[in-house]
Amino acid sequence: MTSWTRAAVVGWAVAWPLVAGVSVGRAAEPEKTNVGHPAPTVTIGSKKFTESVVLGEILVHLTRAYGAVPRHLAEMGGTRFVWNSLKSGEIDLYPEYTGTLTQEIFAGREIDDRRQLRRLLAEQGVGMSRPLGFNNTYAIAMRPEMADRLGITTISDLRQHPSLSFGVSREFMDRADGWPALKRCYRLPQTNVRGMDHDLSYRALKAGQIDLISAYSTDAEIAYYGFRVLEDDLRHFPRYDAVVLYRLDLPQRWPEIKRVLDLLAGSIDERRMMQMNERVKIAGIPDTLVASRFVNATFGLNSTPHVQTFQGRLLANTRDHLLLVAVSLAAAIATSLPLGILAARYPTAGQFILGAVGVLWTIPTLVLFVFMIPIFGVGSLPAIVALYLYSLLPIVRNTHAGLKGIPTSLLESADALGLPRRARLRLVELPLASRSILSGIKIAAVINVGTAALGALIGAGGYGQPIVTGIRLDNPTLIYGQGAIPNAILSLAVLALAELAERRLVPKGLRLKPSQ
């Protein structure tokens, strides 16, 4: 068995058992209840902003205190993404807002009261808790010195200043209750409106790069930066009372959910929510620690937060990132080599194969990740499949090019020696094409390492998680120290391993440099 045959066999042996057995999240090991039965695992989701993550962590502590094993998929994304994850059963519950439900999820439906809203949710298999106690509505904020200079106090005043620029969250840009509805309601003339990350918009406003931003009324940054919130004089924005949405089948698996939701009802007013947001965003206290302090002080519990050290987080993120890269790349190698050989031997089939893997590269990477979710759910598995598909083109194309580039005279010599076709492929063609094949693997590996960071957006972890969290918290240590720099180091390590593999797999004669 040649080195290339062994490499292919190892690729299949490593890839497929891991793909088949990979978890779609990082759940804790099931605990035992008092009667010896496994405690139910409850998956909690949260959106990609601090308040949602803090509320998710509060649910984590209460879930653990009342006998279940919590699993928090934090910073999952926008409303539609988390809502669809709840309906599909990827998560069991998550914090939401009544205004978001009426204006976005059920946009266009006439909803007169909360009873009707509950009925619409029940038709989707979803239940809703009583309000948690605070209203976090949308707001429009600007720098106070500009507001004073232009005499702006209300949103209606903006009609007189069409040149002002808006920076709004990407979700607000397209939501039914977002920019389009606000513009219609107030007949706003502004055209310089950019969608941007919600957390980055505050920094852009402070730096004077934009004039107005969309905000949440309980955001800690409003007071921290001293921004002015404009009066919603036409009462465009409805109440956004915080609630918890949960799957209606959850009480069957974990009856204590009702007790937890009853505890939370009315327990958080706007002042307390703003304080918790401030402790996380401004003071830099971990979400889970802020949540545990609230739970212990409010409900008399003794919940202990699990705060990872720098080294612990780095190790966990490295493990997750390596899982994504190693499994997807091993599977891609094991698949691409046969496809590249087929493409080289059969021109008609080759056009189809090269065209198919080429089309995959025309799909934006993030779209490919999201496309996998309805099929495989959230977590590691959809990220691995997306990375696998994205790795096929460079390996298939380089395998095809390497085999097609072998001089005809060498192939004729192999035939003259009476080598069977398989033996010629194994002993002559693959060794001669090895440099080109390894070049394709090297390209796929480096791209994989970088692209795997996007896995954090669908709950797969890896080095993308501290980058996403660091942007939210304006924490360069997380962005660079635990995300970007380790990712770059891993890329260099992959290149070094590729060089070692080249020395092992490429015949010595092909590695010799021509004499000068």
Q: What is the pLDDT of residues 34-69, one digit of tens each?
A: 445 678 999 999 998 899 999 999 999 999 999 999
> CB neighbours of 443 closer than 8 A, spacing ≥ 6?
394, 398
pLDDT of residue 12: 42
Q: Point out the residues of the chain with pLDDT beneath 70.
A: 1-37, 414, 505-516
Element housing 44 (H / E): strand 41-45
| Cα 314 to Cα 320: distance, rounded to the nearest angstrom | 10
| Cα 27 to Cα 378: distance, rounded to the nearest angstrom | 13
pLDDT of residue 511: 55
| Cα 398 to Cα 336: distance, rounded to the nearest angstrom | 10
pLDDT of residue 14: 43
pLDDT of residue 510: 57
Count the helix, strand and coil residues of the chain and give each as a percent rounded to the nearest 5.
Answer: 60, 10, 30
Judge whether 395 and 444 are in contact, CB under 8 Å: yes
Is the CA virtual torsion 264, 265, 271, 273 positive or negative?
A: positive
CATH 3.40.190.120 region(s) of the chain? Answer: 138-229
- What is the identity of the amino acid at 430? L
Instruction: For domain 41-135+240-299, say whether CATH 3.40.50.1820 is its number.
Output: no
pLDDT of residue 26: 40
CATH 1.10.3720.10 region(s) of the chain? Answer: 3-22+310-510
CATH 3.40.190.10 region(s) of the chain? Answer: 41-135+240-299
| Cα 120 to Cα 144: distance, rounded to the nearest angstrom | 42
User: What is the radius of gyration, based on Cα positions, of the chain?
Assistant: 28
Q: Which CATH superfamily is domain 138-229 in?
A: Osmoprotection protein (prox); domain 2 (3.40.190.120)
Three-state DSSP class for residue 193: strand
Instruction: For domain 3-22+310-510, say whether CATH 1.10.3720.10 is its number.
Output: yes
Distance of CA 506 to CAs 217, 411, 497, Å?
A: 62, 18, 14
Evaluate if pTM is beyond 0.85: no
Q: Residue 502 burial by CB count (10 A; 0-12/13-18/19+): exposed, middle or buried?
A: middle
For tokens 């308040």, name the residue.
51
Three-state DSSP class for residue 163: coil
pLDDT of residue 295: 95
